[in-house]
Chains A and B, each alone.
Chain A
């Protein structure tokens, strides 16, 4: 059964909107945090590369917010900048600041693999605009993943780098697993083919990919406690760090409400 056969209902439209919002917020927030490296990355060559990746994420966020805006009759900028912190739906992984370079690499590596798994599935979505966008995003994300894989391995080849990566990863697994937190009415999306597989299936595929790499590089993988931790609030938990970021990215708009910038 494809979506063409069954017209969207209010419930299915709402579920699709939640799916899009979560992914868009993931890209938006990680893009904001990592864009902070622009101008101060470890090397000039890497500065340019990391800034490109952040810009790609913001570009993806924009495309996803636009898709969402078509669905809800809203405006992409209003969705991106016009909400209170508690209304953002990014995974808890994106609640943290860029921290040090090891944290940035570790977080982004976990995210890039998750994003690749997610996009591979979404490229098969019965919702054609999403399938097309996912296919386009995959082309750019493939390069991100190669870049991050190289960095992870370079840092892990150094004792100090390994130690710093381990420190970053140890506390990060439950927040990373939150990328695959179930969304409301997920079964409806799966039934309609808009989300071709349940989040639990994507989560399992992600773990199959990241866990062996951690073992290979001597880095801490998810503990049994991480894997059994509840993640229902994985996309609603917010931190003071994110509230600070939110204060930054809404500062200019807040200085003159309703203005065009």
Chain B
């Protein structure tokens, strides 16, 4: 069997729902596509730590302090697991961290925005994590089996985060008028990035991640699932979603909404978001400040970063 036949057989296997293990033979295109996907996911977990980390010192009760620290810790743990999955595909972790800090690789749009109040802590843990879990649940069926297995663990932890986020939001909504305003103001700012988060609709006939079943569902399908579950829950709490066009079209069986600002999404994920450079700089500064520790305990092997 020549390489082309081997590749054809491989793609027939994954397209038909077959799974791939780390030590299985795989075409370079597939390996590169999985690596890119998982690396961005790992980067997003690591960068996703920063907006919430800003509130670890500000958590207002012992219970919130424990829940928030534990949530951020989980994200770090997810980054660690995902970098390990990516590493097995052939790129060392230090190289991935270096590329992230150099702005060569991407992370999710939502982590390029500022956090302004305790309301953001609730909205991020509830809705950003909810939007993420919709994608992540679909990734439990990924054709790349080590990734699928990792997603099972991550999804379980994310569901705990959503409960924490919803509890923060609910407490604020049951509080004073100013606390309710805090949530509404946060939702107003986060709605746009949330609607962009799953990305523009792609053509299922040409989206290789979809054809090779690296991901199991398309962007628009994920967005529709997110809206179906969470719009009623957001409304139920008495919050207003800042999109006058948002409604469920019963005839078509789908949500109608104002077209998300895809230009903003492209600009943000390429490093031009309101906090992109500041967060990368913070990551670089923190990494540089602890380089001596890695040098001391790992020796020369840490020099790459």
A128 within 8 A of B: no
A19–B76 alpha-carbon span in the complex (Å): 36
Within 8 A of B (CB), among A4-55: 32, 35-36, 38-45, 47-48, 51-52, 54-55
A47 touches B76 (CB 8 A): yes
Kindly provide the distance from the CB of A44 to the nearest chain B CB, expressed in whole angstroms.
4
Q: Does B234 contact A (CB under 8 A)?
A: no
- Note all chain B residues with C-beta closer than 8 A to A228: none
A62 CB to nearest B CB, Å: 4
From A139-147, A175-183, A195-203, A248-256, the one touching the partner chain is A248-256
CA distance A54 to B56 in the complex (A): 11
**CA A245 to CA B290, docked complex, whole Å:** 22
A160: Cβ under 8 A from any B Cβ: yes
B290 adjacent to A58 (CB under 8 Å): no
| Interface-lining segment among B6-14, B19-27, B63-71 | B63-71
Q: When the two chains form their complex, are residues A248 and B294 in contact, meaning their CB atoms are under 8 A apart?
A: no
B residues near A248, Cβ cutoff 8 Å: 57-58
Bound form: Cα–Cα A16–B72 in Å: 36
Q: How far is the CB of A83 from chain B (nearest CB, A)?
A: 14
Interface string of B53-84 (1 = CB under 8 A from A): 10011111111111001101101110110010
Tell me whether A80 is interfacial, beta carbon within 8 Å: yes
Contacting residues, chain A, for B59 (C-beta < 8 A): 249, 252
Q: Which residues of A contact B297 (CB under 8 A)?
A: 42, 154-155, 158
Count of chain A residues near B, Cβ 8 A: 47
Report which residue of B172, B290, B293 has the largest number of chain A beta carbons within 10 angstroms of its beta carbon.
Answer: B293
Instruction: Give the residue of B70, B290, B296 whose beta carbon is less than 8 angstroms from that of A41.
Output: B290
| Chain B: CB-nearest residue to A251 | B58
B62–A38 touching, CB < 8 Å: no
A248 to B53, CA, bound (A): 13
From B63, B70, B179, B297, residue with most partner A Cβ within 10 Å: B297
Given A44-B80, A55-B70, are A61 and B296 neighbors across the interface (CB < 8 Å)?
no
Note all chain B residues with C-beta closer than 8 A to A158.
295-297
> Which residues from 63 to 77 on chain A have a C-beta closer than 8 Å to any C-beta of chain B?
65, 76-77
Which residue from chain B places its CB closest to the CB of A62 in the assembled complex?
A: B62
Complex alpha-carbon distance, A26 and B138, angstroms:
45
Contact flag A261-B290 (CB < 8 Å), given A38-B72, A45-B80, A54-B69: no
In-complex Cβ contact of A36 among B57, B63, B79, B172 (8 A): B57
In B164-190, the 8 Å CB interface with A consists of: 168, 171-172, 174-176, 178-179
Contact of A252 (CB < 8 Å), options: B60, B70, B176, B289: B60
Q: How far is the CB of A114 from chain B (nearest CB, A)?
A: 23
Chain A residues near B168: list those with CB within 8 A.
Answer: 261
The reply on A259 being an interface residue by CB < 8 A is yes
**Contact call A259/B73, Cβ cutoff below 8 A:** no
Q: Residue B286 at the A interface, CB < 8 A?
A: yes
- Structural contact, B290 and A42, CB atoms closer than 8 A: yes
Residue of B nearest to A162 (CB): B296
Residues of B within 8 A of A245 (CB): 57
Residues in chain B within 8 A of chain A (CB atoms): 49-50, 53, 56-66, 69-70, 72-73, 75-77, 79-80, 83, 117-118, 168, 171-172, 174-176, 178-179, 283, 286, 289-290, 292-297
List residues of A whose CB falls within 8 A of some B CB: 32, 35-36, 38-45, 47-48, 51-52, 54-55, 58-59, 61-62, 65, 76-77, 80-81, 100-101, 154-155, 157-158, 160-161, 164, 245, 248-253, 255-256, 259-261
The 6 closest A-B pairs by CB, nearest first: A158-B296, A39-B49, A42-B290, A42-B293, A40-B286, A51-B73
A-B contacts, 6 listed (Cβ < 8 Å) = A38-B73, A58-B65, A80-B61, A80-B62, A100-B289, A155-B297
